[in-house]
Amino acid sequence: MKRVLAALGLAVGMTAIAAGPAAADDNVVLQLKWVTQAQFGGYYVAQDKGFYDEAGLDVEIKPGGPDIAPEQVIAGGGADVIVDWMPAALAARERGVPLVNIAQPFAKSGMELTCLKETGITKPEDFKGKTLGVWFFGNEYPFLSWMSHLGIPTTGGEDGVTVIKQGFNVDPLIQKQADCISTMTYNEYWQVIDAGIPEDELVVFKYEDQGVATLEDGLYVMEENLQDPEFVDKMARFVKASMKGWDYAREHPDEAAEIVLDNDDTGAQTEKHQKRMMREINKLTEGSDGTLNVEDYDRTVKTLLEGGSDPVITKEPEGAYTTAVTDKMKEM
């Protein structure tokens, strides 16, 4: 019913958002970077509360997973817009997939390395000779750049680190197969705590604090689509409605978590974990209206270019972001 009313409102010019060329619901397919969880709460809230309907949009949200690469999905025509981390998006762009950042809902990085205090690690230099768990599938890029900045090889030995390919769990730390593992402030860190290891037995290194944080959870589209004014208009409405969803999630974190749970068809998520995650995620989106901070973009590029003998990208990207969408959003 809401979509019908929204369409009627658009047809007669009854809503300010209808200033664009669309006169009926426009379809948008959003591909997430990972499974349904509070990390993407703003999008589910925007859908549930009717913010997309109000913007004249019919949005399909496609969950991700360990075997789903958003870059490949959009390149194959399976999505209009994807949630991706900038290192992976820039690497894909250099390889020939012309992704463009149109908005940046996450203002801060949630990535960190969590270590057992009993290993004796107190500072990054202590990583030498240790075993570190690292996520791959594009998530390894910030880590590799960080090690390059530190001058620590990732090929093992006393002066290097041994890297193990970490699954999307915390088992290597719990089972002491690794001295440190990759965690996110909103997810895996709390899995370690829930597994019975108290906070005072952990040492955490946040990428933000180390000066090598790269942008996460931005919105990306294919470059050629931005030549179409109607597509830009559609994305502007999508970003505006999505940011309204994120604002609502910050004001109503428990309700937002419940909405996420309602959309979890797997039943794998728990109420306790999602409510905690939602509060941590809200710290990362706070202060963002969706506009990309160019200084953060430049820092990300600099971090990736200084990747030593195996940098994430080999040259300064051109055309990797645009403000056209968020500029139009602000006019609505």
Q: Residue 9: its pLDDT value, please?
A: 40
CATH number of 2-107+215-331: 3.40.190.10
* The two structure tokens encoding residue 286: 């706070």
State the number of CA atoms in the 13 A half-sphere of 285 facing the CB.
30
Q: Residue 11: its pLDDT value, please?
A: 39
3-state helix, strand, coil in the chain (%, to 5): 45, 15, 40
Angle between the N-to-C axes of helices 271-285 and 41-48, in degrees from 0 to 180, rounded to the nearest 10: 100
Q: Start-end ranges of CATH 3.40.190.10 in the chain?
A: 2-107+215-331, 111-210
Q: Residue 199: its pLDDT value, please?
A: 96
Q: Residue 161: its pLDDT value, please?
A: 97
Fold exhibited by the domain 111-210: D-Maltodextrin-Binding Protein; domain 2 (3.40.190)
Distance (Å, whole) CA 242 – CA 169: 29
Q: Residue 24: its pLDDT value, please?
A: 58
- Letter for the amino acid at 89? A
User: Could you state, in chain order, the average pLDDT of each consecutive group of 10 residues for the chain (332 residues)?
Assistant: 38 40 75 97 98 98 93 97 95 96 97 97 97 84 84 93 93 97 96 96 95 94 98 98 98 98 94 97 97 96 77 91 98 95
Q: Residue 165: its pLDDT value, please?
A: 94
Q: Is the pTM of this model over 0.85?
A: yes
Q: Residue 67: its pLDDT value, please?
A: 87
Distance (Å, whole) CA 12 – CA 82: 32
